[in-house]
Amino acid sequence: MNLERLETLLGETFGELLQRPLAQDIKKILASGDKRLYALWLTQVAHLTKHTSLHQAMVGLRSGISHPYMKFCFEHAAEEVGHEMMAIHDLRKIGVNVKTVDDLPPPLPATTQLNSYLYYAAQNAHPNTRLGFSYWAEKCYPYIDSLASGTKSSLGLSDSHMTFFVSHAAIDEKHAADVEKIVALVCKDAKDWAAVEDGMVTSLNLAVDIFAQIYQTVTTSPGVYADFLRSLEK
Amino acid sequence: MNLERLETLLGETFGELLQRPLAQDIKKILASGDKRLYALWLTQVAHLTKHTSLHQAMVGLRSGISHPYMKFCFEHAAEEVGHEMMAIHDLRKIGVNVKTVDDLPPPLPATTQLNSYLYYAAQNAHPNTRLGFSYWAEKCYPYIDSLASGTKSSLGLSDSHMTFFVSHAAIDEKHAADVEKIVALVCKDAKDWAAVEDGMVTSLNLAVDIFAQIYQTVTTSPGVYADFLRSLEK
Amino acid sequence: MNLERLETLLGETFGELLQRPLAQDIKKILASGDKRLYALWLTQVAHLTKHTSLHQAMVGLRSGISHPYMKFCFEHAAEEVGHEMMAIHDLRKIGVNVKTVDDLPPPLPATTQLNSYLYYAAQNAHPNTRLGFSYWAEKCYPYIDSLASGTKSSLGLSDSHMTFFVSHAAIDEKHAADVEKIVALVCKDAKDWAAVEDGMVTSLNLAVDIFAQIYQTVTTSPGVYADFLRSLEK
Amino acid sequence: MNLERLETLLGETFGELLQRPLAQDIKKILASGDKRLYALWLTQVAHLTKHTSLHQAMVGLRSGISHPYMKFCFEHAAEEVGHEMMAIHDLRKIGVNVKTVDDLPPPLPATTQLNSYLYYAAQNAHPNTRLGFSYWAEKCYPYIDSLASGTKSSLGLSDSHMTFFVSHAAIDEKHAADVEKIVALVCKDAKDWAAVEDGMVTSLNLAVDIFAQIYQTVTTSPGVYADFLRSLEK
């Protein structure tokens, strides 16, 4: 494994994901001007992002890692502090009346699973594992750009309404370069690369599960989200 | 309590400390050109600094702290990664043949105590407590400048031989301003200020204990440092 | 919610699970005398059980919990230390040549997910959440007894070959009573009960995912288990 | 090092400690019927004991330790849960009106130091280090028995007033045997023994510092304990 093959694998995985019926169904809903799916996605983003800097910093506490990797972990933890407030801001822009993550409905089970896995990867798995998540999270913007621009035009939003997406796409160009640099630095043998690949594939699949649950929640089983979704129907 | 009173308290504490016979004894040894005391100090600095970014990051993981304080913790953790290597560098410049902290003799008991206290402050005490340590650690340079310049001239060292001291004095001007800003931000009531004061006084006293043990080790009870000190006598 | 309703919910959930085609398919394979499925299950059990006492003890470290709950956590952590060695013993009895968990193929993704969730529940969720897992784990034996006895007779095993199952069924009668007692003690309001229910349902669903992956691994996609499964075919 | 030599070292250390002027001064105060010193000791005991089961359990989470040592850690953690309430009970028996540790004046600095060191030993030092504390804490009763019986008679207390001391002396006979057994089991080379010895000597010295600060607080600098001590004078 090397950086090029990791990028190829990411491209293939996204290619396959975007061909699935789920991706097409989601596109249709977003294009229809129905903002519930986007709202539910922002809600999960807020629940995930609240933890990002915490599990990122935890990797920096692992014994035996190198100084550059420690530095990377703490720097990125610092940069991601409070980013859940962007999702909150964007929710407010589409009419959801919330001030903090605590005002939101609880995370979907799949969201809790991704959070659980990222803490586990940070604390218990090979110390490189969580880099697989950073890798795709920082490099996913080209792949999901059409989803985002579809959402933007159908919901009549401007960039200033979509701060999470827009500013992360911007920030993450620098971050993606940082992540590639540190991946190249910390991967010395096949086991090191396997940990990054494992972290990437596992967390990406868990993220897809979130999309599936969002879709299902909006279309058939609102569950604890019933009131939240109803408030968005007007 | 407020920032001015904290600064006054620090000045008074250092004033009192520098009047003690111990401070005078230390000055005399440093002025004599005997590098053993400086070497022992650098050794303790290395054993302390190895942990600094770790317990700093741990504060950022505490629940209930604000986003700016989290950000401060992770940023400062990132900036302090690997600074023990400066102490190692400086030890090499005075002829100590070491590559990493693991090559050094073990920490003095007082050094272990300060490390223990800083981890405890970071994980168990009021989340502001560790700021009291940062406060004096970043603002101590004016007070100990004469000790440092005495060391420099008596041992015939240049700034490039004293990277830990010189670069920290420089870095720490910015850091001291950062620490004051965050202290002002996180201290909202008397309890918050008391935590900072408590952290400052306790960790400063523990640092003085280290100086006392260094002096004692050099002058009367070398213990596990016997070989190390002998190697510096030539 | 109360203990009776929790037990009813558990019974209904197991009733539903055992009606699924998956349960029937698994029964068929076990009845056929094919030991691969049982071996793969023991392997996942070993990978899970290695962590059980750790995340159980972590709940005891949570701040704000009562003394009886702390005591329960540490006592049960103590009792479950090393139980993965029973799974290792039982694997050896069916001809798998392993000495420790490290000799086994890696956990299936679903196994890693359950481990991740249990650490997350222990450290980050409501402190009662992990009790939902203990609850079903200690009370599942009546429900899965027919699976176990089917395995026993078709593979020609005695009780001494199935130490994990048999001794846990015995130990867990006491444990189940302990868990019910502590659940009744720590659940004071609806939120407390909801945490237990959430922990039970989530971890039980994750356990079912493991069975589904075991079945799939044996029947269609051996993946990293190919060699392991082949060695069991003779 | 071996168990006999460890016991000899403990005996010599206690012999030396009990010869110090401090020990004589403390005996005099206790014999005088002045209950302030005993009250202050119980207060520190409560502040220490509140953390004992936590740092004991943390050792059990260390990676790489053996199953018997894990089991020992969690079992002893379980047995020591809530023992601070014995100190609270005994304080009430001598007229101090407190219900929990939170009602007490804050720990003396030396008490915080011992707590800090024990957490550090549990989490960061050699995993055997904390056993050195358990070793003397479980075996100290013969050495301090005369202090205790002096206190008992001069303050006119019965065994039921001194639950912390009396029941620990009883419990700790079993515990002392457990600790010796596990020390013998986990010490395989000189480094392992050195960790136990280091933990014993360091924590015992920190405990002596607590006695020194208690004596000083009662005799000359009540500080934050002024009201507490005054309330005991009647």
- Report the alpha-carbon angle B200-B205-B208, nearest 5: 125
Q: What is the pLDDT of residue B174?
A: 81
Q: What average pLDDT score do residues A48-65 get? A: 97
User: What integer best gives the mean pLDDT of chain C?
Assistant: 93
Instruction: Check pLDDT > 70 for residue C61.
Output: yes
C2-16 confidence digits (pLDDT tens): 999 999 999 999 999
Q: What is the pLDDT of residue D234?
A: 60
Task: Give the confidence band of D33 by pLDDT, cuts at 50, 70, 90.
Answer: confident
**Rounded to 5 degrees, what are φ and ψ at D151?**
-60, -45
Cβ contact A60–B67 (<8 Å): no
Q: What is the pLDDT of residue C159?
A: 87
Give C-chain residues touching A124 at CB under 8 angstroms.
115, 119
Interface of B with A in 85-104 (CB under 8 A): 85
Cβ contact B113–D115 (<8 Å): no
CA-based nearest distance B123→chain D, Å: 10
The question of ipTM being above 0.85 is answered as yes
Cβ contact A53–B75 (<8 Å): no
pLDDT > 70: what percent of chain C? 99
Q: What average pLDDT score do residues B5-12 get? A: 94
Task: Give the confidence band of B144 by pLDDT, cuts at 50, 70, 90.
Answer: confident
Q: What average pLDDT score do residues A58-72 get? A: 97
List the structure tokens of A65.
């890692």
Cβ contact A78–B82 (<8 Å): no
B64-75 confidence digits (pLDDT tens): 999 999 999 999
Among the partner residues C113, C121, C123, nearest to A117 by beta-carbon distance: C113
Task: Give the confidence band of D199 by pLDDT, cuts at 50, 70, 90.
Answer: very high
Interface of A with C in 103-122 (CB under 8 A): 109, 112-113, 115-117, 119-121
Among the partner residues D113, D124, D205, nearest to B117 by beta-carbon distance: D113
Among the partner residues B113, B119, B124, nearest to D113 by beta-carbon distance: B113
Among the partner residues C54, C58, C71, nearest to D78 by beta-carbon distance: C71
**Cβ atoms of residues B131 and B199 within 8 Å:** yes
Instruction: Check pLDDT > 80 for residue A234.
Output: no
Q: What is the pLDDT of residue B1?
A: 82
Q: What is the pLDDT of residue D123?
A: 98
- Report the chain D residue with the minimal C-alpha distance to residue B201: D109
Q: What is the pLDDT of residue A172?
A: 67
DSSP letter at A106? P
Round to whole Å and give the CA distance between D187 and D195: 9
Among the partner residues D61, D75, D81, nearest to C78 by beta-carbon distance: D75
Instruction: Check pLDDT > 90 for residue A143.
Output: no
pLDDT > 70: what percent of chain A? 99
Task: Give the confidence band of A147 by pLDDT, cuts at 50, 70, 90.
Answer: confident
Instruction: Among B46-50, B172-176, C106-110, name the one with the lowest average pLDDT.
Output: B172-176
Instruction: Check pLDDT > 70 for residue C63.
Output: yes
Q: What is the pLDDT of residue B151?
A: 87
Instruction: Among A20-24, B119-123, D39-43, name the one with the lowest average pLDDT.
Output: A20-24
Round to whole Å and give the CA distance between B203 and B205: 5
Q: What is the pLDDT of residue B172?
A: 67
Cβ contact A74–B81 (<8 Å): yes
Q: What average pLDDT score do residues A61-68 get? A: 97
Round to whole Å and give the CA distance between A47 and C32: 46
pTM > 0.80: yes
Q: What is the pLDDT of residue A120?
A: 98
Which residue stretches of chain B are H helix?
Answer: 3-19, 21-31, 36-60, 67-80, 84-93, 109-123, 129-139, 141-154, 163-186, 190-219, 226-230
Cβ contact D116–B112 (<8 Å): no
CA-based nearest distance D69→chain B, Å: 23
Q: What average pLDDT score do residues B4-13 get? A: 94
Q: What is the pLDDT of residue A151?
A: 87
Round to whole Å and give the CA distance between D214 and D36: 9
Instruction: Among A101-110, A218-227, C146-155, name the one with the lowest average pLDDT.
Output: C146-155
Q: What average pLDDT score do residues D134-146 get? A: 88
Task: Give the confidence band of C172 by pLDDT, cuts at 50, 70, 90.
Answer: low
Q: Chain A: list its partners (3+ Cβ pairs within 8 Å).
A: B, C
Q: What average pLDDT score do residues D56-63 get? A: 98
Give the CA distances from residue D63 to residues A192, C225, D66, D128, in Å, rounded to whole numbers and listed in that order: 20, 27, 9, 12
Q: What average pLDDT score do residues C116-136 get? A: 97
Round to whole Å and give the CA distance between A229 and A43: 11
Round to whole Å and give the CA distance between C117 and D38: 47
Give D-chain residues touching C77 at CB under 8 angstroms.
57, 60, 74, 77-78
Among the partner residues C112, C120, C202, nearest to A115 by beta-carbon distance: C120
Q: What average pLDDT score do residues B120-130 get? A: 98
Q: What is the pLDDT of residue A106?
A: 95
Interface of D with B in 189-208 (CB under 8 A): 202, 205
Question: Which residue would you say has higher pLDDT here, B64 or B176?
Answer: B64
Round to whole Å and give the CA distance between A44 and A101: 10
Question: Which residue would you say has higher pLDDT here, A163 or B109?
Answer: B109
- Of B41, B20, B21, whose CA–CA distance to B155 is shortest? B41
Q: What is the pLDDT of residue C234?
A: 60
